[in-house]
Structure 1
């Protein structure tokens, strides 16, 4: 497993990769996780090495990466290129693996690892978490030059997708993007990021016990405070309702990122009831989230995200969602499963109208929240959903073994 965005035990987060590594190990796989010395979430070098993690059931190898201060930056691309080169040096020195699992992005690492797997006829599995360069366009999209600037990145992404023997992704939207250029008739599976619902529930008390502890309506956001997330839109909507006399709405923001100060200053300026907690340990985040009444998924217009991590936690918490995301896949779930209300991206009045509807109707909140919890149980519970990824890897290894036997 080559994943430079891995979160190890003790680090903040709910890692897809270490969960999958544990699952594969229990299934009898001999697993090695190749990760970065640089921790993406904190933007700092890790204070430990692979040697410190020998107690895990899988081997860990940390490969040097210089790091970067911002998610969208030239330094990040350079850092990824350095790590890709260092990974290749390591792969060439070790025994060839039977299968390589490689999350995407970054493009640089995926491209080099895919070429290595192709050369040595090693089954290659990609797991798409985000689309590059589409995500970069959201932050930096100069007129005229944009297509010229991002064309090499698109070709790099296509090269990775073409060489995959299996395409995994956190949404069907992403699976379809890769399958459109894949030439290998790759195995496919859309598996949401999800969470372990048993673990999630063990971190929280029952909803009835917790909701007695606060007054009014709490609107929750969890995740990154960056350019893709329109936190100011939510603040504006709460402010509009306050001007109408609805003063009982409290906006709870759990997370951190480059735009935190901008978002917090805006909330302070408008004088709404709000709280910015910063990044919380996962257990504390869960306990706070389940005490809330409504969740918001305020994705900006034109964003490339699909079914993202936060909506899985919202579902697990049994909260109705106010969604501004344009992605057709998630909007379809919101409508057809009645797990919340879709809103117009960038339209504070429309968001305020839908927020008022939910805040004023406890029965509707309860109904939609229960629908969302059922959605979590069928689509977001890792204990069930990740088994499909394991079975795909079993199948690839079996086919590879049979092919070698014939040769």
Structure 2
């Protein structure tokens, strides 16, 4: 029987069970703690709530360490860069001042710098490094800042891309939330046994929650997530004026564009219901009670299989999507999704109306996505690939 090893999980953006979301790294920490001694290092600043955590958090069998940073209000801006700089400085101090005793580090990407720091110290401190890619930086900036997606923008961002490559290159193994991301990160062409694509997924399949959908005259379409630059939510608001007689639309979440969207919604008649940020279980129940989920990622965005897509699948919902990522399109092409043209509110409204008039098709799409969720998104099954990868490295 293998002796218990010491595993460090580094995840600056983690959310705890009493905060919105069901975080990937909490699940991984719990699974690994069954056989190993696990320490979780994260930020005292909660990214999703944009607030400082005052109290410590307890996770059974897991040591939790908070590192300070000043925090930020917007997801894109110099305030965030400054905050991350402070976090990384404190992280480096943590590594140097705490007698490093870990056999393996499982590290979230982003941040780039935390992974670069770990990579530079890996040989001296003698540990294995697994990098789990949640998002690809700097490429992800093309969504909220599409003017950087041209050749000139890529030239400007080239130094950051090179820095990212250096961080990726330190990994002994890679995990990613999509094939797109792992292909970007695999700069060393690792052996396939040290690469795993594991969707974000969920701890439970929400469509199994006991809740009957209301027999309403209109269908309910829902967007859940951040109201920010990578998401074309204005198109949904404009579409609501056309399909208002057949479709109710709700937004769950918040973000820097919320007030602007609310103003536009009010000017157009107020047909979108802004419900704000809800506790995760309540948000999933609202999703589960919906008829359609909307995935409005702008065409320039680099996101692939996102948190919201995982939630949509785990709620067994038909998905209306304008995302151009090939991997997402292939996943939805099995019959559980319908594509609409990004930025075209008339096309979105027409697709919503057609689905509202065909409840049989909606039911068929839902069943397809439930099967996909059972196969690829249930964490107790899909995350075993991560655990087995870690065990291979520890041996």
| TM-score (ref. length: structure 1) | 0.90
Give 2:136's match in structure 1, choosing from 116, 131, 136.
131
RMSD of aligned residue pairs (Cα, Å):
1.8
Which deviates the most, 160-169 or 106-115?
Answer: 106-115
SS class of match (1:19): helix
Distance between the aligned counterparts of 1:218 and 1:125, measured in 2? 41
Which residue pairs with 1:402 in the alignment? none
Distance between the aligned counterparts of 2:342 and 2:142, measured in 1? 18
Higher helix share: 1
Q: Encode CA deviations 1:217-272: one digit per residue, 9 max, x unaligned.
A: 11111111111111111122222334xxxx13111111111111111222222115
Structure 2: runs of 5+ lacking an equivalent: 1-8
Distance between the aligned counterparts of 2:75 and 2:119, measured in 1? 23
Give 2:273's match in structure 1, choosing from 275, 279, 298.
275
Which residue pairs with 2:311 in the alignment? 313
Which residue pairs with 2:188 in the alignment? 182
Distance between the aligned counterparts of 1:94 and 1:275, measured in 2? 52
Which residue pairs with 2:33 in the alignment? 25
SS class of match (1:372): helix
Give 1:35's match in structure 2, choosing from 25, 30, 42.
42
1:228 and 2:235 aligned: no
Which deviates the most, 305-314 or 75-84?
Answer: 75-84
Q: 2:100 touches 2:125 (CA, 8 Å); kept in 1?
A: no
After TM superposition, give the deviation of residue 353 of structure 1 in Å.
Answer: 2.3
SS class of match (1:295): strand
SS class of match (1:224): coil
The aligned runs of 1:64-83 (5 Å cut-off) are 64-83=68-87
SS class of match (2:66): strand
- Tell me how many residue pairs correspond in the alignment: 383
The aligned runs of 1:63-142 (5 Å cut-off) are 63-92=67-96, 93-140=98-145, 141=147
After TM superposition, give the deviation of residue 137 of structure 1 in Å.
Answer: 3.0
Which deviates the most, 264-273 or 280-289?
Answer: 264-273
The aligned runs of 1:292-311 (5 Å cut-off) are 292-311=290-309
After TM superposition, give the deviation of residue 148 of structure 1 in Å.
Answer: 4.3
Q: 2:142 touches 2:300 (CA, 8 Å); kept in 1?
A: no
Q: CA 1:144–1:158 in 2, change beyond 3 Å: closer, same or farther?
A: closer
Q: 1:229 touches 1:299 (CA, 8 Å); kept in 2?
A: yes
Which residue pairs with 2:51 in the alignment? 44
Give 2:158's match in structure 1, choosing from 116, 139, 151.
151
1:369 and 2:369 aligned: no
Which residue pairs with 1:195 in the alignment? 202
Distance between the aligned counterparts of 1:118 and 1:139, measured in 2? 37
Distance between the aligned counterparts of 1:238 and 1:274, measured in 2? 7
After TM superposition, give the deviation of residue 76 of structure 1 in Å.
Answer: 1.5
SS class of match (1:32): strand
Which residue pairs with 1:259 in the alignment? 257
Distance between the aligned counterparts of 2:27 and 2:394, measured in 1? 20
SS class of match (1:60): strand
Q: Encode CA deviations 1:98-138: one digit per residue, 9 max, x unaligned.
A: 00011100112121122222443421100011111112233
Q: CA 1:184–1:217 in 2, change beyond 3 Å: closer, same or farther?
A: closer
After TM superposition, give the deviation of residue 145 of structure 1 in Å.
Answer: 5.7
Distance between the aligned counterparts of 1:348 and 1:283, measured in 2? 31
Q: CA 1:31–1:71 in 2, change beyond 3 Å: closer, same or farther?
A: same
After TM superposition, give the deviation of residue 94 of structure 1 in Å.
Answer: 2.4
After TM superposition, give the deviation of residue 194 of structure 1 in Å.
Answer: 0.5
Give 2:217's match in structure 1, choosing from 200, 215, 222.
215
Q: 1:162 touches 1:183 (CA, 8 Å); kept in 2?
A: no
Which residue pairs with 2:392 in the alignment? 395
Distance between the aligned counterparts of 2:80 and 2:112, measured in 1? 11
Q: CA 1:377–1:144 in 2, change beyond 3 Å: closer, same or farther?
A: closer
Structure 1: runs of 5+ lacking an equivalent: 399-407
Which residue pairs with 2:13 in the alignment? 5
Give 1:58's match in structure 2, choosing from 50, 59, 62.
62
| TM-score (ref. length: structure 2) | 0.92
Which residue pairs with 1:403 in the alignment? none
Q: Encode CA deviations 1:176-218: one digit per residue, 9 max, x unaligned.
A: 1111x125547111100000225x356x324xx2223x43111
